[in-house]
């Protein structure tokens, strides 16, 4: 009989081994398929903006959702100054639980998993919104998320040329070094303006917690797709407002994006399209060669739910730890009796 108090746990080391065993690009493609499948049933999910605790140093958030059968949540922080003390800007863990019993069925690290699901979501969205045949991507911000974005766009969209820029030259060197064996043509650029020249897809993925103008209006020509993922909390943006006014804007969950995304710069009634509507065919995404499409991505709980579902399906003997984390009294009403079992 299955021991019901045992919960599978995937550690950071185990997550790394799962990713490398599957292969980074195959995993990104598979995870994107899980995310797309959940976006196709978007309407059945419980949805709410994440619960956020903001401070002058950063933010700590809880991101919950449920499809009625399973419940998932992620704990995640965002502290841009952490890198000064050798810490990650973003760390996370998540739980998947059975709605019928309330028992957790998976506990997992989600620092790596968030990077993977963010990249998979970006490329999945671009597959529906970017110009047909696009293969040149500018990436402004070459930090912890950059390689995942590049590999997801290669695996899912066919991007083979990267134009890289970061105010931190060492970050660009790191990104170039890490991607050296993946077949990209890599062009290191001296400015953001240079990076976007000739690019068909522009990804902005910076970390500063402030209103910023990574892209100015004159830098963005017609026909491009913008993947804006750095602006993800109140007071943090990357694009000049005029770019938004020229773009068709696609979002995950408007109620959250209007608080945290680029569109916090716009009036509350400015029209946006929910990405799930494009994926299900309810509305069209890219409609003309000159159209500017903008995926204003802040990350949403359904994507974490999809990622946790994917990892649960990858569990095999030896790639996770079994945690004794739930009480198992001999009878459900005798919790105190269970305590006494530990007497010497």
Average pLDDT, the chain: 94
pLDDT of residue 209: 57
Q: For the segment 137-177, what is each residue's pLDDT rounded down to a tens digit?
A: 999 999 999 999 999 999 999 999 999 999 999 999 999 99
Strand order in the sheet with 70-78: 51-54, 59-66, 70-78, 92-98, 104-109, 6-10, 321-324
Instruction: From the candidates 38, 166, 232, 304, give the one annotated as an active-site residue.
Output: 232
User: Which residue, among 226, 57, 67, 54, has the nearest Cα to 138 in the 3D structure?
Assistant: 226
For residues 227 and 202, what is the distance between their CA atoms, to the nearest angstrom?
A: 6
Q: For the segment 325-334, what is each residue's pLDDT rounded down to a tens digit?
A: 999 999 999 9
275's CB contacts (< 8 A; 6+ apart) are 39, 125, 128, 250, 251, 252, 295
Whether this prediction's pTM lies above 0.85 is answered by: yes
**For this structure, is 232 an active site residue?**
yes
Tokens of 48: 């709410």
Strand order in the sheet with 161-165: 185-188, 161-165, 136-140, 201-204, 225-228, 293-296, 248-251, 273-274
Question: 305-341 b/e with 16+ CB inside 10 Å = b?
Answer: bbbbbbbbebbeeebbeeeeeeeeeeeeeeeeeeeee
pLDDT of residue 1: 43
Q: How confident is the model at residue 234 (pLDDT cuts 50, 70, 90)?
A: confident
Residues of the chain with CATH 3.30.1780.10: 6-112+302-340
Q: For the segment 20-73, what is each residue's pLDDT rounded down to a tens digit?
A: 999 999 999 999 999 999 999 999 999 999 998 989 988 899 999 999 999 999
Q: For the segment 238-271, what is each residue's pLDDT rounded down to a tens digit?
A: 999 999 999 999 999 999 999 989 999 999 999 9
> Helix 111-129 and helix 146-157: axis angle, to 10°?
40
Q: What CATH number labels 125-299? A: 3.40.50.720
Residue 208 has pLDDT above 90, yes or no: no
pLDDT of residue 210: 62
pLDDT of residue 279: 98
Architecture of domain 6-112+302-340: 2-Layer Sandwich (3.30)
For residues 87 and 198, what is the distance between their CA atoms, to the nearest angstrom?
A: 35
Residues of the chain with CATH 3.40.50.720: 125-299
pLDDT of residue 236: 81
81-90, 180-189, 226-235, 251-260: segment of lowest average pLDDT? 226-235
Angle at 119 between CA 266 and CA 176, to 5 degrees: 110
């Amino acid at each position: 009989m299955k021991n019901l108090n045992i919960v599978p746990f995937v550690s950071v080391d185990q997550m790394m081994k799962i990713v490398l065993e599957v292969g980074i690009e195959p995993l990104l493609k598979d995870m994107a398929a899980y995310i797309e499948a959940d976006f196709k049933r978007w309407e059945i999910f419980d949805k709410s903006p994440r619960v956020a605790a903001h401070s002058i140093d950063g933010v700590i958030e809880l991101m919950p959702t449920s499809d009625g059968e399973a419940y998932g949540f992620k704990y995640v922080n965002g502290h841009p100054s952490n890198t000064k003390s050798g810490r990650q800007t973003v760390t996370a863990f998540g739980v998947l639980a059975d709605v019928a019993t309330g028992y957790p069925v998976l506990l997992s690290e989600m620092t790596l998993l968030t990077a993977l699901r963010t990249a998979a979501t970006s490329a999945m969205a671009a597959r529906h919104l970017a110009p047909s045949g696009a293969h040149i991507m500018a990436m402004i911000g070459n930090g912890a998320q950059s390689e995942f974005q590049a590999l997801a766009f290669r695996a899912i969209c066919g991007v083979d040329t990267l134009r890289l820029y970061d105010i931190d030259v060492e970050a660009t060197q790191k990104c170039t070094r890490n991607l050296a064996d993946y077949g990209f043509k890599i062009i290191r650029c001296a400015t953001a303006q240079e990076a976007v020249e000739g690019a068909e897809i522009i990804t902005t993925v910076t970390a500063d917690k402030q209103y910023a103008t990574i892209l100015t209006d004159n830098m963005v020509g017609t026909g491009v797709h913008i993947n804006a993922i750095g602006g993800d909390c109140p007071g943090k943006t990357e694009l000049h407002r005029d770019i938004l006014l020229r773009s068709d804007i696609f979002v995950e969950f408007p109620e959250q994006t209007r608080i945290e995304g680029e569109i916090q710069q716009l009036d509350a009634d400015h029209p946006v399209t929910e990405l799930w509507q494009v994926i299900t065919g309810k509305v069209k995404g890219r409609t003309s060669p000159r159209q500017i499409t903008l995926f204003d991505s802040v990350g949403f709980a359904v994507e974490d739910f999809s990622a946790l579902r994917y990892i649960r399906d990858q569990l095999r003997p030896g790639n996770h730890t079994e945690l004794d984390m739930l009480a198992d009294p001999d009878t459900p009403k005798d919790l105190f009796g269970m305590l006494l079992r530990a007497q010497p």
